[in-house]
Amino acid sequence: MIERLTIRRPDDWHVHLRDGDMLRAVAGYTARQFARAIVMPNLTPPVTSVAAVEAYRDRILAALPAGADFTPLMTCYLTDDSDPAEIARGHASGAWVACKLYPAHATTNSAHGVTDIRALTAVLETLQRIGMPLLIHGEVTDRDIDIFDREAVFVERVLAPLVRDYPELRIVLEHVTTTEAVDFVASAGPHVAATITPQHLLINRNALFDGGLRPHAYCLPVAKRERHRLAVRRAAVSGSPKFFLGTDSAPHGVHRKEAACGCAGIFNAPFALEGYARVFEEEGALDRLEGFASEHGARFYGLPLNDGTVTLERAAVTVPERIGEGDLAVVPFHAGETLAWRFVG
Ligand code: DOR
Ligand code: ZN
């Protein structure tokens, strides 16, 4: 049995670091495990301008613990009014590395999102031309579509035509949760990839209703049936360079989760690699964790692989029931459970 696992330093290709006090409370967890992270722009107000993203990046750097060696990779929040020239300007200067497409009202702070992707022609043409990735929250928002079908319907109605019409556009379908999404990405060309979260590898939709309503298992896209979880697992451990690590760690204060209308989001940053390691071990694929966590994403984004390594050791770790105090108290993923791998550093 393997007792220690050392891999090249990994990156998180999808994370919500928030702002203000919550940013200061959570940034260190991501910076502890990952060298870089793609930081989501769904703040209030959303990050839509070069000036806003530069200021946000500075706030992230100021929030990091002393001595942290962490690079935030910033993103632009697309709206119906996004200006292709501003996007290209920020890309050229290095202010942001990708654009995030939230269908309007799909999830947390997406009210300013895109109402009709077909109206974004000039933006999409620009992204394709300059090679800037489009990161997609892939769910339709029609209220008459069953919530468990929203990703599969998005793939068919929106993503397939998009890939057909913009064959050179670099696309990351974020946090895939279904057979349909995994199959689409696997069979598309090399410009189409996907991120995979720990929760979509570890829980299915039963977790939302396990003995009662479980708000801390609720995220978007919502966890699906077991057969979908198994398809997502096969993709993660397949060794395909199209699938890579993106935690979608999304902290909300306990009071905002345990409410009549609880927020979507699972805070998995404190034990992210431990969760992925469990999955890869269960699948007999620990030798493929490094590709998934530390190589495929960097290659897709055209960035160098990180120097240095991190180590996990086989040791029981009990996850706290809560992290933080007062309004900043958050229930982490795996709260109260004992995990088999420990992140050493
Ligand atoms: O569960 C989620 N939480 N899904 C998202 O798409 C957004 C995120 C958040 O910002 O809370
Ligand atoms: Zn997200």
Expressed in angstroms and rounded, the spacing between residue 115 Cα and the centre of ligand 1 is: 18
Please check the confidence at residue 153 and state whether its pLDDT lies above 90.
Answer: yes
Q: Are 52 and 91 in contact (CB under 8 A)?
A: no
- Tell me how long the chain is: 345
Distance 42 CA to ligand 2 centre (A): 9
Domain parsing of the chain, residue ranges:
4-343
Binned at pLDDT 50, 70 and 90, residue 108 comes out as: confident
- Tens digits of per-residue pLDDT, 282-294? 999 999 999 999 9
Per-residue model confidence (pLDDT) at position 315:
98
User: What is residue 106's predicted lDDT score, i.e. its pLDDT?
Assistant: 84
Q: Encode pLDDT of 302-337 as tens digits.
A: 999 999 999 999 999 999 999 999 999 999 999 999
pLDDT, position 107: 85
Amino acid at residue number 140: V
Name the pLDDT band for 1 (thresholds 50, 70, 90). confident
Cβ atoms of residues 13 and 37 within 8 Å = yes
Q: Which atom of ligand 1 is nearest to the CA of 16?
A: 10
149 is an active site residue: no
Residue 10 is classified by DSSP as P
* CB 136 less than 6 A from any atom of ligand 1: no
Nearest Cα residue to atom 7 of ligand 1:
108
Q: How far apart are the first and last CA of the chain?
A: 21
Residue found under tokens 């209308």: 261
Q: What is the mean pLDDT of residues 90-114?
A: 94
Question: Confidence class of residue 99 from pLDDT cuts 50, 70 and 90?
Answer: very high
Domain 4-343 matching CATH 3.20.20.140: the answer reads: yes
296/235 Cα distance (integer angstroms): 13
Ligand 2 (single-atom ion) residues, CB below 5 Å: 248
Label residue 109 by pLDDT band (50, 70, 90).
confident
1-10, 54-63, 100-109: range with lowest mean pLDDT: 100-109
